[in-house]
Structure 1
Amino acid sequence: MPRQVSELLTACPRVQAIVTSRVSLKVYGEQEFPVAPFAYPDSEKQMNARIMKHAFYKHAPRWATTNSSKHGRKVVC
C-alpha cells in the first residue's frame, strides 16, 4: 500500500491522503499522529456477562438468579 499512496501523491500533487495504520508508511511528506489504543474493559466485561448468562439459560432454562447465586456469578463474570 505505501507504494500506491506514494504513486498517487506523486501523480496528483494537490491530492492529500489520510491513512490509518499501525505502522508508518515511510512515504515522502508523511506526518505521524500517534493515537493510543481505545480502552474498553467495562464493555468487554459486560459482553462476557451476557455470554455467560446466555449459556446458563441455554443449558439450564429454569435457572434463576437468587441472592445465593449472585456471588458465584460475579466471580465467573
Structure 2
Amino acid sequence: MASRPDKKKDRFAGLFLWANGKVKAPGSASADMAIRFEKAFGVKADTLMRMQSAYEMAQARAHEDEIRVTRLVAA
C-alpha cells in the first residue's frame, strides 16, 4: 500500500513557507520561525527548514541561466 501524504502537515508546511517569505529579519529568523511552528503545530522544525531550502533552490534554478559566473581555474 502506498503511503498517503499527511495533508495537515502539508498545509502547515505551506503556511510556514508563506510566513517565512514575509519575514524580513536577517540571520536566524527562519530557524526561529521553524521552531515556533514546531511548537505550535507539531511539524518538525528540521523538516520545515529542509522544505524552505528546497523551495529556495527551486526558485534559484528557475533562473539559473541568467546567473553569469566566470569559472576559476588553479594557476
TM-score by length of 2: 0.29
Flag the structure with higher helix content.
2
**Which protein shows a greater Rg?**
1
Higher relative contact order at CA 8 Å, sep ≥6: structure 1 or structure 2?
Answer: 2
